[in-house]
Structure 1
Amino acid sequence: MRHKALLPALGAAVLLAGACSGNANSDTNAKKSTCIHVVDETSGRTGSACLPLAPDSARVDLAAPHFTHPTPITNPTHPTSQVTQTIYGGQESGKPFRTEVTLLPGTKTITWGGRTIHAVTSQYVAFSGGRIHEVADDWYAQADDGSVWYLGEDVFNYDNGVVADTEGTWQAGRDKAPGAMIMPAHPRKGDVYRTENLPGVVFEQVTVRAVGQGVEGPYGRIQGAITVHELHMDGSTEDKIFAPGYGEFSTGSASGDLEAVSLAVPTDARRAPVPAGLGALTTAVRTAHADPTPATVRAVRGAWDAYRASDAVPALLERQMTRDLDAWQKAPRDRAAALRVEQNTTDLRLRYESVKTVDRERLGMWARQLGIDAGAGDEGSVAGDVTGLELVRQRLTGTDTAKSAVITADLKKARDAADRKDTAEAGRLAGQLARDIAALKG
């Protein structure tokens, strides 16, 4: 998958003169085409140049996959059904960038090539500067040979808290779209496959550059990683790393745009009580979030310094927390900086608490943020806060039905208030939601 969040800074478009060779498969047994044209992803304009495609002889995704037991996805470098939640961090276009990728309950039924396939759903939620930026539900299934197939995504791109477009949405079996291999069973250097294969709408060609690599993970070195090189529909390229226990591990670089693993569970989980220092940090952050003054934010800094001196903290999360606290201390009333610091704090708790427990904490966080943004009359942020609540609520489907039904009803009212740009009503509902969420946790 390649989400739009990192598109603007990922390499210049390749505009090649003359003809090029390659396949434009609209299904695994489709006819050959001599050219897939470069498409400008900003304007949507199709150019005359062709993408520099690999020959069919290098491709490993041309045989039709069979899906007998598609939802246990155990492929080491794309273990989708084994990783409950992964947090990514970094920066994009000069702004702090953070992503939550969560395995959702249930399955998605997809019909492709006359076959009914049950796929797992992975919820991708990206935040730019702490605010909602992109949401996608991605669907995956593992074929009988161990390869993992990408069967589509529902994409929602946000601008100022509301959906701006759904560009990038596709589903195998619709509009002649095929499923696409996203990870071979046993990747080898030189393997080529297409992780999206609907030219003009979505397209990616991947070449495996290296296998059997070691990379630095959140809590130590990881062996068995691979590096792939992606060619995109606009002609741009990027390298990605996939690692056992994580799947997609990093894109970009620390000096430019970056989306990399901060931590994942259960891979990085530890069976131990929440450390006292992390508990103190959580309390300090919530106090300052509700009452941001130079003194309360300084207290957060003190709690953070004490905690990171007492416990192992992933390098990327440490860097992000320090960056966001620096911004918050410079401007204690900076609502986005305060939100990012609380998001980082919930991420740190994943090391010790279940995803369900941390997501309940995130519900409370978004309810508090809704009240803060409503009090500021910020209509766009209010709309985004309600989306944050809805997304976390989706992840908690099926838990504590009686109490969560009350939250669902209040969320519908909050969505209506946000859509009507009634920040006063949204603020009132924020208080009610906070009380309902507290009862859910109790």
Structure 2
Amino acid sequence: MRHKVLLPALGAAVLLAGACSGNTDAQAGKGACVHVVDENTGRTGSACLPLAPDSARVDRATPHFAHPTRITNLTHPTTEVAQTIYGGQESGKPFRTEVTLLPGIKTITWGDRSIRAVTSQYVAFSAGRVAEVALDWYAQADDGSVWYLGEDVSNYAGGVVADTEGTWQAGHDDAPGAMIMPAHPRKGDVYRTENLPGVVFEQVTVKAVGQTVDGPYGRINGAMTVHELHMDGTTEDKIFAPGYGEFSTGSADGDLEAVSLAVPTDAKQAPVPARLLALDKAVRAAHAGPTPATVRAARALWDAYRASDAVPALLVRQMERDLDAWQKSPQDRAAALRVEQNTTDLRLRYEPVQTVDRARLGMWARQLGIDAAVGDKGAVAGDVTGLELVRQRHDTPESAAFSADLKTARDAADRKDAAAAGRIAQQLIEDVAALR
């Protein structure tokens, strides 16, 4: 299911299935034992996960998919939300996520069926840097339930892919599709959002429905809370809400991944406020030329904007945290990047995703030049990945110059040639400015 507030990667043989006596089929769920796995070592223990009885499960019937790519389920409205921004913290570090509906359809063969699925791009950032990327595949069954048909995962360390643990696809290696949201969730419903013992496994129990929660810009009715059991034996509660889907995981005092805002759910049909434009301009200037004076100017314009417009509470908290760090050390590259990420996120309320993503391309191109100048090869590789991920989100034509220069930047990053990457960064900034 969703991407795990950055758990350490496990070894390939992360989970063994079978009855405690070793002879039943855990995937089929016939009173089977799925063994607990040590998260840090990947070792399988003798204890079994406390699975719910099959009689409580609502994911046992075979789903049918006549029109699978229009996903309108109220608490998992995958195709109704263009982009969602999540924020929070993990292990004491700022944590931020961009989830974007991608263009195009992926056909997945599950058994004797070919199912058309939509793709959602999940990009998690730890302290501003790319930490995990996943392409998630979803389809809505005829009864309104949403099914998870796999994910292509890349976990990053030092700007490069460290492993692909957690990758799976329905129909491969006997993997079944998994229900990620019932059509009409009820308290007590149980379903498995990942169901491939040996690779991935999660069991969800619905704790409450019909709840009201505080959203980015007001109260939201019709939310639900679920209790999720992981393959290492740990559990956590998650909230899902209409207009957003997955809404929050964790708590403000510990690890947290919660919605900052989503579009079109939180979009406002109005021009970008003048004070937000001024803030955006000042942050970009300070990002490119950080000094105590430029950072103070950005802080003053943030204060002015915050006083003049509604700002989601989570984004307020994050911006205050990141501006404090930046003011304390104007040369803090990570703090500068996070402040610009936050500012760009605020523009989503007023501008189309494609427009905001062009601003993100410019941000990553500037960051590429900044990181190349200090010879940070890992950060350079991550910056190029940032450019590539944003580019992946749109199927509109782009300039040949941008495509060629991005390829040059990737080649330089792969060779760990920070100087070459730095030379192309300014050209990428100009290419992005010329995109329409």
TM-score of the superposition, structure 2-length normalised?
Answer: 0.95
1:330 corresponds to 2:328: yes
Aligned residue for 1:439?
A: 434
- Deviation digits for residues 88-127 of structure 1, max 9, x if unmatched? 0000000000000000000111000210000000000000
Change (3 A) 1:369 1:117: same
Change (3 A) 1:264 1:31: closer
Q: Report the aligned-residue RMSD.
A: 1.6
Structure 1 Cα separation of the partners of residues 221 and 142 of structure 2: 25
Alignment check: 8 A CA contact 1:5 1:133 kept: no
2:396 to 399, 405, 414: 399
1:419 to 414, 417, 421: 414
The CA deviation at 1:406 is 2.4
Aligned residue for 1:197?
A: 195
The CA deviation at 1:284 is 0.5
The CA deviation at 1:374 is 0.3
Of all paired residues, the percent bearing the same amino acid is 81
The CA deviation at 1:31 is 6.8
Q: One-letter code of the match for 2:160?
A: V
Alignment check: 8 A CA contact 2:319 2:339 kept: yes
Structure 2 Cα separation of the partners of residues 24 and 187 of structure 1: 27
Structure 1 Cα separation of the partners of residues 21 and 370 of structure 2: 55
Alignment check: 8 A CA contact 1:20 1:34 kept: no
Q: One-letter code of the match for 1:98?
A: R
Structure 1 Cα separation of the partners of residues 396 and 390 of structure 2: 12
* Residue segments in structure 2 that go unaligned for 5+ positions in a row: 9-18
Alignment check: 8 A CA contact 2:226 2:239 kept: yes
Aligned residue for 1:12?
A: none
SS in 1 for 2:30: coil
Aligned residue for 2:32?
A: 34
SS in 1 for 2:5: helix
Aligned residue for 2:186?
A: 188
Alignment check: 8 A CA contact 1:6 1:257 kept: no
Alignment check: 8 A CA contact 2:26 2:34 kept: no
Moved more, 427-436 or 383-392: 427-436
Alignment check: 8 A CA contact 2:117 2:138 kept: yes
Structure 2 Cα separation of the partners of residues 408 and 125 of structure 1: 21
Change (3 A) 1:201 1:289: same
Structure 1 Cα separation of the partners of residues 25 and 336 of structure 2: 47
Alignment check: 8 A CA contact 1:86 1:264 kept: yes
SS in 1 for 2:7: helix
- Deviation digits for residues 297-330 of structure 1, max 9, x if unmatched? 0000000000000000000001100100000000
* Residue segments in structure 1 that go unaligned for 5+ positions in a row: 9-17
Q: One-letter code of the match for 2:310?
A: A
Q: One-letter code of the match for 1:290?
A: A
Q: One-letter code of the match for 1:248?
A: E
Aligned residue for 2:13?
A: none
Structure 2 Cα separation of the partners of residues 351 and 320 of structure 1: 17
SS in 1 for 2:45: strand
Alignment check: 8 A CA contact 1:24 1:36 kept: no
Residue correspondence of structure 1 range 359-378 to structure 2 within 5 A: 359-378=357-376
Residue correspondence of structure 1 range 12-411 to structure 2 within 5 A: 25-26=26-27, 30=28, 32=30, 34-396=32-394, 398-401=395-398, 403=399, 405-411=400-406
1:3 corresponds to 2:26: no
SS in 1 for 2:435: helix
Alignment check: 8 A CA contact 1:346 1:362 kept: yes
- Deviation digits for residues 339-389 of structure 1, max 9, x if unmatched? 000000010000000000000100000000000000010000000000000
Number of residues of Structure 1 aligned to a counterpart in Structure 2: 426
Alignment check: 8 A CA contact 2:5 2:255 kept: no
The CA deviation at 1:203 is 0.2
The CA deviation at 1:411 is 1.2
Q: One-letter code of the match for 2:416?
A: K
The CA deviation at 1:40 is 1.9
SS in 2 for 1:292: coil
- Deviation digits for residues 268-317 of structure 1, max 9, x if unmatched? 00010000000000011011001100000000000000000000000000
SS in 1 for 2:104: strand
The CA deviation at 1:5 is 3.2
